[in-house]
């Protein structure tokens, strides 16, 4: 009888141990569970790495005039938005082209020298062929009578005329000006022959160089338009050390 009870209790204990083992095998292990002696923990990194360019933009005079800056830093174009706490966050980062003869201080540039002016300028408005592509900027549609004047009386302005006007006949630039922004270079005051028709536009299919404008691919130009609004500025510099000047 004693032998029977001993076998019976041993069997019950063995079954209980087997059930516990089986249950453990199907259990889920969350953070902090001890598996084979190794503790698994969830780690959250709260450190925020500051961007030196964002810090430089925050200290500029331009940052006091606008909450949106297109920065052309040599061949790198980035879009920055000011946050409620005054910091600047990058929203776009692409390659860009500019004048075939490089960059030049805006006070030294002359018409026809194929350089892009260095400085900080307001974006006057967006323009192109067809209806507004979804930008919050003021949009002007190119017509067959649209010119960017090179004549002294209307120098460096958009003119609608049924007779030819010296300068650029905008409707002839069906690729580059499909989507574009007018840069407020040489405005208030306008200096005759310093340069006109400086735009941010779609890239020329043949090369990245231009007569003085900044260019990006058509897809990037469209994206930029859809992200920007009136009041945006463009800052053009050869390197980031120049940012603090504007």
Task: Note the pLDDT tens digit of each residue in 165-200.
Answer: 999 999 999 999 999 999 999 999 999 999 999 999
Q: Higher confidence at residue 16 or residue 110?
A: 110
Residue pair 147/90 in contact by the 8 Å Cβ criterion: no
Domain 52-245 homologous superfamily, CATH = L,D-transpeptidase catalytic domain-like (2.40.440.10)
Instruction: Parse the chain into domains and list their residue ranges.
Output: 2-39, 52-245
Q: What is the mean pLDDT of residues 97-120?
A: 97
Taking only the tens place, the pLDDT of each residue in 116-141 is 999 999 999 999 999 999 999 999 99
What pLDDT is attached to residue 113? 97
> What integer pLDDT is reported at residue 50 of this predicted model?
75
DSSP characters over 15-56: HHHHHHHHHHHH----TT-EETTEE---------PPPHHHHH
> Of the candidates 212, 209, 188, 208, which has an alpha carbon nearest to the alpha carbon of residue 198?
212
Burial letters 158-183, b for 16+ CB under 10 A, else e: bbeeeeebebbbbeebeebbbbbbbb
Query: What percent of the chain is predicted at pLDDT more than 90?
Result: 79
**pLDDT category, 95, cuts 50, 70, 90?**
very high
CB atoms within 10 A of CB 210: 21
Q: Is the pLDDT of residue 221 over 80?
A: yes
Mean pLDDT score of the chain, rounded to an integer?
A: 85
Which structure tokens are listed for 201? 């536009």
Q: For residue range 19-54, list pLDDT tens digits in order.
A: 333 333 333 323 222 323 333 233 333 334 579 999
As a residue count, the chain comes to: 246
């Amino acid at each position: 009888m004693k032998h029977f009870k001993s076998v019976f209790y041993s069997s019950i204990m063995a079954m209980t141990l087997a059930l516990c083992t089986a249950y453990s095998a199907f259990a889920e292990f969350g953070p902090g569970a001890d598996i084979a002696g190794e503790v698994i923990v969830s780690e959250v990194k709260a450190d925020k790495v500051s961007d030196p360019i964002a810090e430089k933009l925050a200290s500029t005079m331009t940052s006091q005039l606008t909450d949106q800056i297109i920065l052309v830093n040599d061949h790198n174009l980035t879009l920055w938005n000011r946050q409620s706490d005054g910091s600047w966050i990058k929203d776009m980062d692409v390659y860009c082209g500019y004048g075939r003869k490089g960059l030049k201080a805006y006070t030294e540039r002359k018409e026809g020298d194929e350089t892009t002016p260095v400085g900080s300028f307001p974006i006057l408005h967006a323009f192109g062929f067809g209806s507004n592509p979804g930008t919050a900027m003021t949009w002007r549609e190119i017509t067959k009578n649209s010119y960017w004047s090179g004549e002294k009386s209307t120098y460096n302005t958009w003119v609608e005329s049924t007779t030819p006007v010296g300068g650029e006949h905008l409707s002839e630039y069906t690729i580059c000006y499909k989507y574009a922004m007018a840069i407020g270079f040489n405005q208030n005051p306008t200096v005759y022959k310093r340069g006109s028709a400086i735009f941010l536009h779609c890239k020329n299919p043949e090369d990245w160089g231009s007569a003085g404008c900044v260019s990006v691919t058509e897809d990037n130009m469209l994206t930029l338009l859809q992200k920007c609004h009136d009041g945006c500025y463009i800052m053009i510099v050869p390197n980031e050390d120049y940012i603090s000047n504007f």
